[in-house]
Amino acid sequence: GAVVSQHPSWVICKSGTSVKIECRSLDFQATTMFWYRQFPKQSLMLMATSNEGSKATYEQGVEKDKFLINHASLTLSTLTVTSAHPEDSSFYICSARSGLGNIQYFGAGTRLSVL
């Protein structure tokens, strides 16, 4: 099956610093990648959709200058949380979809704790 690798799995940072999360599709080319945020015991909230080589499309209410998304290749997308604050602490999950189907394959998630 398709594998999506997300790194790091857990990161702790100081308030005001930036954190980069990587999402890689290991055995397929992901024309589209998605970034979600999940609060404890809640569902997934789509933050943005990124297509390789183009600017990400952000959902309403998501600050694009705070959550920078880059999808530079067909196998890699990154989410950078800039000037992180404690309220940014959350579980971030990426998913990837190939151009051949409509199934999203998910990474294992990144737990971000901002002190």
Partner 1 sequence: AQSVTQLGSHVSVSEGALVLLRCNYSSSVPPYLFWYVQYPNQGLQLLLKYTSAATLVKGINGFEAEFKKSETSFHLTKPSAHMSDAAEYFCAVSRGNEKLTFGTGTRLTIIP
d(CA 76, CA 52): 9
Taking CB under 8 A as the rule, does residue 60 contact partner 1?
no
d(CA 80, CA 92): 11
Q: What's the closest the beta carbon of residue 89 comes to partner 1, in angstroms? A: 14
Instruction: Residue 31: name the closest of 110, 105, 108, 109 by CA.
Output: 105
Joined tokens for residue 67? 């959550």
Question: Which x/- pattern, by CB under 8 A, does the window 90-109 give for partner 1?
Answer: -x-x-x-x----xxxxxxxx
Taking CB under 8 A as the rule, does residue 52 contact partner 1?
no
The span of 11-19, 35-43, 60-68, 75-83 binding partner 1 (CB under 8 A) equals: 35-43
Joined tokens for residue 45? 């909230």
Tokens 């209410």 sit on residue: 61
Of positions 34, 35, 58, 67, contacts partner 1 by CB under 8 A: 34
Return residues touching partner 1 (CB under 8 A).
4, 6, 32, 34, 41-44, 46, 49, 91, 93, 95, 97, 102-109, 111
